[in-house]
Structure 1
Amino acid sequence: MQGTARRRAWSTALIITMALVLDVAMHAYPLRLLTLDFERFGGTAVPSSEAMRFPEGTELLRVRNACTNAGNGGCWSLFTVRPPIGEARAAFEDTYLVEFGRVPGTFWDPHPISVSATEFGDDVWVVRGDYWRDTP
């Protein structure tokens, strides 16, 4: 009898814990999206190197953020990279070494990133990524 009551108490505690975790998760994700929207509305949000999802083998040499001086023109990240060699090089070029491309968003950050790149020299490229540019 005492074993059944103990199991029932543990089961109830487990169900309550799972419900609390689910409730927090259901509130945390919309709050995360709302926070991202406020940053982007102000034009100050910039993508991180993780958000850019460079192919494996890409050597990240430098990251710099810049903003336009003209009010709400937006901010962007400049990634100085050395592209990978081999098969990953073609994927890198198709995505980043274009005049105007897009990196799709993720579950945690669903907004797409606008990308473009210019050659810096010695197989080094500067890739620009931003959230605010919608058209070339």
Structure 2
Amino acid sequence: MSYLSSLTTPLNISLGLKNAGDIITQVLPIVHFSVNEQCVEYKECSKFRKFTDAGKPVFHIEYPDSAGQKLREDVRSRYCGTGDEGKKGDTEGFSTVLKKMDLDGWVEYCDGTVEVTEVSGSGGKE
């Protein structure tokens, strides 16, 4: 196989954008999804709406101060876009999870379900 023909062979990979809301317009035609952290916190979720409008997923993560215990409904609704403070609909269609900033195995979903996944420490040591 020549080098030139390898350039036309499908690679079966997806390209995503992490945060970087200011370049969405330029890269939207070539990326397949967005990973966004804290668009509610920084009031920039509307920028990422371009992905869902184009039929592309937004994987959205927020880090509430009270994360690590089951969140109150008003806290969860703020980040999930279902309450007044979260501007109803801002994150509609996003795949949202709520995590602790230290990124352990704790996660809460917008439906209130909490899961804890066992994680190992750095370097594979427990």
* TM-score (normalised: structure 1): 0.27
Q: Which has the higher contact order (CA 8 A, sep 6+)?
A: 1
Q: Which has the larger radius of gyration?
A: 1
* TM-score (normalised: structure 2): 0.28
Select the structure that is richer in strand: 1
Select the structure that is richer in helix: 1
